[in-house]
Amino acid sequence: MQQQQSQYWIQQPYGSSQGFGMLQQQKPQESDIVQKKLVSHIQNRLKIKQMYKDKVSDIQEPQLGPTQSLVYNIIKAELSEKGFSDFKYIGEGKQGLVFLAKELSTNRRFAIKGLHVKDSQGKIFQETFNQAQQEINMLQKCKGSSYVVNLLKKIEGKEFIYLVLNECQGTLSELIKKSPNEKLNELSAIKYAKDIAEGLLHIHSQKCISNDLKMDNILIDYNGNAVVSDLGLADSLTKTSGYGMNQYLGNLLFQAPECYDPKKFQDYSDEYQKLGLNISTKPTIKSECFSLGYLIYLMVQDFKTDLMFKKHLTLNYSNQFEQFTYKNQLKFIINGLTQFKPEDRLSIKDVLIILKGIISFEFQLDQKFIEFMDDHDQTTQQFISKFKKDIEFVQNSSEKFYPIIKKEQDFIQEILSKQQQEQEIISQLCQSNIQLEQQIKSFKDIQKQLENELIALRNQKVQLEATIVESNQTNILLKQEIEKLKQTQKILVNYLKVQQNQKQNIQNLNSFQPVISQSQIKKKGEEALKKQKQEQEKQIQLQKAYN
């Protein structure tokens, strides 16, 4: 599953999802928001898996022994009555079993530690009960870091007290057992060393020490981070001296040399006396630095029981270790943390500077990949209620959690299919956009042509208006000429009438034999010619006026 998932890279979706269980029942806008959160989560998960591929070791489920199986069955029976299911065994702590379970009412997954504090009759095992209360107090005091296990709530059972913790996949011890040659690869060791140092730094900032740092007490969470857990033996530091309030009670292999009982390990006491050091056997932050150094050393080196008796000697490194890319940095860290004199040991902060530098370079981690969701957010509450059938949730703290897709592969395939459809739609839209741009260009050409025609029509209008004005003026002149012609016609009519009258008079004269003298006739003739000449002159003047 992991190898298949790492092949995919999910892009951010556009639009709402169709399918994947409850996604079908949502409105497009709500589905859009939820789907983007899911895809972003899967995308970041796959990015981490891709970066860790062939670099960080994987983890497998451990096997249960007969006694563990018996206790485990009691635990499952009790928690099933309280609404839990899907149990998965992780490992065994000093005081109880650690396993995974899902709360059906919220669909959230947790790591749960079962502490056996009563017998079947309800009688309390006082010592175990007190240790359980001590662990609860220390978990509450040291909460707030992604690298320290977070106590989310406590459940009282018939025989067990159950500490509900943020989910983890397994222990570092189990992971190393399943690794080749029971050693981590170089970058796995560096990654987990960095995470453990982060957790210890936080615990120390709360004026506490874990007091039992060992492989079994380091859990690997859902994001592949190493988490410091099992604070059943954790102790508070005194304000004045900086020592723990009690003696070291943890694992002997990872115990700092100054914390050994001088009666049992006289060699270390003698060595400190040779150095002129009078050192308390109570644990300190410096003694926990030594434990961290041995923890890192045993991630990449073979386990040897005689190491417990050689903590005043320089550590040896295998040929395989000498092939590491960061062998010098790791040697500096391990040797610096395991100095026999406590005051000479490296601080956790110094170690973190080196380890973070390597991690940042190797994995290019410049941001947090997994974004937690807020439990008080209204949108988150709707998100939970609508997707219980398809999504489980891993809670990291009292108010933060992140989703786990049950059918992640199916969801990925569906999103990929949807993205392909969307890409096709986008391609079609691009083609349509090109066509629209061409049409727009044609429309602009037509618009320009119409504008030119409009300008021409406006020019024609101006010319027509000028022609109309000119025509109106011509009409006025024509009317005036017509009036003149009418006057001329009237004169001509009168002239013709006069001519007709003259002609008639002449005819009348010719019809009679006038008794006049020759001189009178001559005189009359001259007058008639004179009038005729005058009339001709008038006619010529009229003709000139007309022309």
pLDDT recorded at residue 131: 86
413 and 339 part of one domain? no
Buried b (16+ CB within 10 A) or exposed e, 440-479: eeeeeeeeeeeeeeeeeeeeeeeeeeeeeeeeeeeeeeee
pLDDT recorded at residue 146: 87
207 and 310 part of one domain? yes
Residue 13 has pLDDT above 70, yes or no: no
The CATH number of residue 346's host domain is: 1.10.510.10
Please identify which residue in the block is written with the tokens 């009258």: 501
Mean pLDDT, rounded, for 457-475: 90
* Higher-confidence position of 6 and 391: 391
467 and 354 part of one domain? no
Looking at the 3D structure of the chain, how many domains does it have?
2
Q: Containing H/E element for 291?
A: helix 285-300
Is 35 a member of any domain? Answer: no
**Enclosing domain of residue 286:** 171-363
pLDDT recorded at residue 385: 54
197 and 289 part of one domain? yes
Rounded to whole angstroms, what are the CA distances from 203 to 110, 244, 441?
A: 22, 13, 70
What spatial distance separates the first Cα and last Cα of the chain, rounded to whole Å?
Answer: 116
Q: Beta 391-395 vs 108-116: how paired, if at all?
A: parallel
Structure confidence by residue, pLDDT tens digits, 136-186: 999 999 988 889 998 998 999 888 999 999 888 778 888 888 888 888 889
3 state SS of 110 = strand
Predicted structure pTM score: 0.62
* Higher-confidence position of 333 and 263: 333
Task: Choose one of 485, 512, 538: the last residue of a domain.
Answer: 485
Mean pLDDT, rounded, for 91-113: 82
Mean pLDDT of the chain: 79
333 and 442 part of one domain? no
Residue 472 has pLDDT above 80, yes or no: yes
Name which of 28-32, 78-82, 104-108, 494-498 the model is least confident about: 28-32
Rounded to whole angstroms, what are the CA distances from 256 to 213, 238, 285, 305, 538?
A: 11, 19, 11, 15, 155
Residue 214 has pLDDT above 70, yes or no: yes
Is 262 a member of any domain? Answer: yes
Q: Which of 268, 242, 245 is nearest to 255 (CA)?
A: 268
Is 182 a member of any domain? Answer: yes
346 and 458 part of one domain? no
348 and 472 part of one domain? no
180 and 311 part of one domain? yes
pLDDT recorded at residue 346: 94
Name which of 208-212, 382-386, 468-472 the model is least confident about: 382-386
Q: Containing H/E element for 325?
A: none
Rounded to whole angstroms, what are the CA distances from 243 to 118, 299, 320?
A: 33, 28, 38
Task: Choose one of 326, 343, 363: the last residue of a domain.
Answer: 363
Written as six digits, the tokens of 5 are 């998932």
Task: Choose one of 436, 469, 485: the last residue of a domain.
Answer: 485
Q: Are 110 and 221 in contact (CB under 8 A)?
A: no
Structure confidence by residue, pLDDT tens digits, 403-434: 555 555 665 666 667 767 778 888 888 888 89
3 state SS of 391 = strand
Using pLDDT thresholds of 50, 70 and 90, give the confidence band for residue 18.
very low
